[in-house]
Structure 1
Amino acid sequence: MKTTQRITCLLLLLLGTHLFAQTGVKVTYYDGTEQQFNVQPAGKLYFDADNLFVKADAGTTPTTIPVSIIRKVTFSEALGTTTFGQNTDNLVLYPNPASESIRIKSDTSTELKTSIYSLTGQRILQGVFQSGQDIDVSALSAGLYLVQVNGVTIKFSKK
């Protein structure tokens, strides 16, 4: 449970500077389904040991989502009338877990601006990669990391 708490807290730290100006929140589940929220300035997003709570506005009851079923959480600017938070790159990180290298696959030819963070929030690696290009992680200690790719955060486990 502590690992889950650390991952979720780090996710908020990584993206926390963007939360004040952004209101679109998309939760992607391990089964591939997605849930979108439009969080007003009076709303909030918070965690306890096992759950993510999304409170869209001060007067609403929060939506409770078990952290164990969440693959990723992404944020975007105010929704307006545009479609929110579509991961048009369809990013996939593999293998996961990995020991020597990882690859990030994207459906587009867009450069992948990538950063790897430890659970303490320290940036371990940063670079720009192409879809399918090897990213050497052999020097990393075994454990959990967060990989941020073009604004999308993905959990990664190093063996």
Structure 2
Amino acid sequence: SPSNEAEPPSAYRPFTKAERIQQLNDIDKSITQLLQSAGLALKTLSASQSDSTQTPSARREAFENASNSYLKTLQKVDIGLKRQIYGLEESNIIPPEKAKRGRDGQDGSGMGGLRSAAAPAEPPSGESGMGRLDIGWLNSRSGRVGRDMEAELWDKAKVFLEDLERGNSN
């Protein structure tokens, strides 16, 4: 129709910082839901004497429901994280995926990702984030961020599973 052609395409509108933070908060809640679904699935599989009132078919159905919930939530988290990554790439905060890998698995240096053993690893420069300071490069050299996040998630999972074991599945 002619009225649609006269309008500029307004479908694309970048997310605001507040919207991005809300999306990350939703992903965080989904990860909590992932842990709950996994805990419930494991609980239905455990051969607990106190829960012998359930029939095997009821336990199987409960396991399937918890497993399906886990898989749906996992897919939701995966999609949400990919969208966040694409947003960071569009904002030039991190380099686009293709630029990082280059063609045929090369890292863009023409050396197929191999570096000279004598050459020290230098941080990448250019249009990859914070000017010459590439936060991702710094974090990858540290490993501390990942270890801290992993430890925090393991602690949350442990507390959650202990609560489930005690019957506090809130």
Taking structure 1 as the reference length, the TM-score comes to 0.25
Structure that is richer in strand per residue: 1
Structure that is richer in helix per residue: 2
Larger Rg: 2
Taking structure 2 as the reference length, the TM-score comes to 0.24
